[in-house]
A and B are shown apart, each in its own frame.
Chain A
């Protein structure tokens, strides 16, 4: 048996060990990263759902100011806790726009009356069409959009109180 063959198992083992050590040293990043980061918001124009509030279109986002676009629904339980955090962001001068997914006028009005209303505009996305074009797979999700209408950050799941400084930082960078 030649030398090379006799040493082959050892070399294969070393390569495998190296890969495993690398993985232990750099734990897997299990987050899904948005592919829309750095790309303009897809063109959309959503009508209003509440008579008291205007709908939302992609033009409303390219105003020179950064926006936080929140994909939510009145039937979504985590959204209830998230609204309170959004209120505190609004108090710090953040422009928050909502996209209501598969919602009804009365349910949404009740939801906002009960939990507070941080939204400047709310678009009515009855078929989830805009949600899907944004690459959002569930509620709640939020997007930081800069003044030119370019997506800078996608947040999957509710924004927790502990996320506030991070979100404010992202909005600052988008300015």
Chain B
């Protein structure tokens, strides 16, 4: 019954979405007074999808094997948390989660948005309904998550063991929340293009959504990077894998949007560009979902290889983005640009920021899809890997980081003060960093060296906007910006340290043998079999020392039976100055074991930086919402408009 209830809720929600679209057309055509009805429908639709998703969680939690999806992706021997997480560790479930978040976001938009014109909001709710309708159709017609099996099998087939990890419990949901948050920006942009109300009010309404989505994307990418780092056992934090790029591209677009939206909010300028970015940011989310779900690019992450699903998603992508671009082409000409600005101004700084981010986005996009285009045109096969991305995106990212220190110091419209004087201290610190790296590590490669220099400079420059006044009285949004920019410096330092100082040791060892890596002496003490709830493993006991005391690490190679798979569970020990990363591999013919050891100084700064960037976003969002709720009391605005 539970599965049927979920399916019924989904059908009802789809019906309401269609109704919502109809009302939007009525409102825009004839000016029918439907705003109350549309808001209520959007809220109920969000609640219905929540019910459907809750039903799916329940059938997974109870291991109801008569539901085909549970049978295919779960197993009664699995730990409880992974049973629940299994609900979205598969195609149908993750699509249901996507549409649930979409509809709930629509409900919040209906409840909270009161800064745009009422007509724009109604148009945006209509656009949101169109987005949702496509996914309802996809779920109900092509991938029903609640389909039953008869007769019910006794036990399920299990979940990809790589996904049986705490990271799974929140990595995909976080990314999806980010993707779907961008759908609200998309809908608002489409709504504003329809009504022609592209103004600073729209930008202020859109900003919290973009900020929220961007925070979650930042967290999702950071967590995903750490997951790949410890779970795949390769010791790298970023592989430029197509699916990683698929999560990076929306983030790049959202970062650009986040900055250009401020220009629109403060100065009413960059209208067409900001609308374009809002459309592109969500398009990149759809591209990301398409790449993961269709499996057209070979990737460790392509979990669901099914061209039919790909076709459906591609059709949705073409319709949504195509329609938005057509709208942009037709209405873009009517947009009047706002207040002009001079060459040296905050606006120019943000335009340059947007240009660089767009070029990086283009570089990643082209690199990800290039093999496909080459094969389509010439039939030749090729692959694009890390060397291309590092060589092209790396210097651009460094240039951007350099400018990040300058932009926030500029005033809106025109800058007449000699702001470069304020950058003398950061620049000097950068020079000191250069001297230190040359003295301590003369053989260092150019990119990590520049990374250290720029990171040192930016760490100092990022806090400048807080100086020159009482920092405690600075707006929370300014604090957020400073923290986020400081986070970039921290992450950059971590990447440079990882590139410059990592020591790697691949060796074979018998129990008792000693291997050295960096400052560490690592002894293989023993190798013993062990078992967990749904796996067996061989576990190596390693004793590591660098002169002061001995620590024990226990990396494993795990064998899962449902489905049969082998995973490397790395053992990692974190110190204030780095991580010792160990992996045990296979036994060779002579009975010795493969060991992979890394000493990675300051590598944790990469993820700490990512967390700081997200924290900065959270501070800014909190500051803006705080003002919204307590200072302006703007809720009354739309009521006044409605009932005047």
- Is B298 interfacial (CB-CB < 8 Å)? yes
Q: Are B276 and A9 in contact (CB under 8 A)?
A: yes
Closest to A23 in B: B296
- Is A114 interfacial (CB-CB < 8 Å)? no
- Is A1 interfacial (CB-CB < 8 Å)? yes
List the A side residues contacting B373 at CB < 8 Å.
19
List the A side residues contacting B318 at CB < 8 Å.
13, 17
- Of A22, A24, A27, most buried by chain B (CB within 10 Å of CB) is A24
- Chain A's interface size range is 10 to 19
Q: Mark interface residues in B253-290 (1 if CB within 8 Å of A CB, else 0).
A: 00000000000000000001000100110010000001
Q: Are B314 and A1 in contact (CB under 8 A)?
A: no
Q: Secondary structure of the B side of the interface?
A: helix
Q: Are A24 and B329 in contact (CB under 8 A)?
A: no
Q: Are A10 and B326 in contact (CB under 8 A)?
A: yes
- Is A16 interfacial (CB-CB < 8 Å)? yes
Q: How far is the CA of A7 from the CA of B325 in the complex (A)?
A: 8
Q: Are A6 and B329 in contact (CB under 8 A)?
A: yes
List the B side residues contacting A23 at CB < 8 Å.
296, 372, 376
Partner of B333, one of A6, A21, A28: A6
- Is A20 interfacial (CB-CB < 8 Å)? yes
- Is A30 interfacial (CB-CB < 8 Å)? yes
Q: Are A13 and B372 in contact (CB under 8 A)?
A: no
Q: Are A13 and B332 in contact (CB under 8 A)?
A: no
Closest to A5 in B: B332
Which residues of chain A (11-64) have a CB below 8 Å from chain B?
13-14, 16-17, 19-24, 27-28, 30
Q: Are B332 and A6 in contact (CB under 8 A)?
A: yes
List the B side residues contacting A21 at CB < 8 Å.
314
Counted as pairs of residues, one from A and one from B, with CB atoms less than 8 Å apart, the total is: 57
Q: Are B296 and A10 in contact (CB under 8 A)?
A: no
Q: How far is the CA of A111 from the CA of B47 in the complex (A)?
A: 67
Q: Are A6 and B328 in contact (CB under 8 A)?
A: yes
Smallest distance from the beta carbon of A9 to chain B beta carbons, Å?
5
Q: Are B329 and A10 in contact (CB under 8 A)?
A: yes
Q: Are B376 and A22 in contact (CB under 8 A)?
A: yes
Q: How far is the CA of A16 from the CA of B318 in the complex (A)?
A: 10
Q: Are B325 and A13 in contact (CB under 8 A)?
A: yes
List the B side residues contacting A30 at CB < 8 Å.
298
Partner of B322, one of A10, A20, A27: A10
Q: Are B276 and A27 in contact (CB under 8 A)?
A: no
- Of A3, A6, A17, A22, most buried by chain B (CB within 10 Å of CB) is A6
Q: Are A24 and B298 in contact (CB under 8 A)?
A: no
- Is B310 interfacial (CB-CB < 8 Å)? yes
Known: A6-B333, A19-B369, A19-B372. A28 touches B298 (CB 8 A): yes
Q: Are A9 and B328 in contact (CB under 8 A)?
A: yes
List the A side residues contacting B276 at CB < 8 Å.
9
Smallest distance from the beta carbon of A34 to chain B beta carbons, Å?
14
Q: How far is the CA of A21 from the CA of B372 in the complex (A)?
A: 11
A–B Cβ pairs within 8 angstroms, 18 of them: A1-B272, A1-B335, A3-B333, A6-B332, A9-B325, A9-B329, A13-B321, A13-B325, A14-B322, A19-B376, A20-B290, A22-B376, A23-B296, A23-B376, A24-B296, A24-B310, A27-B307, A30-B298
Interchain residue pairs A-B with the least CB separation, the first 8: A10-B325, A6-B329, A6-B332, A7-B329, A9-B325, A23-B296, A17-B318, A19-B376
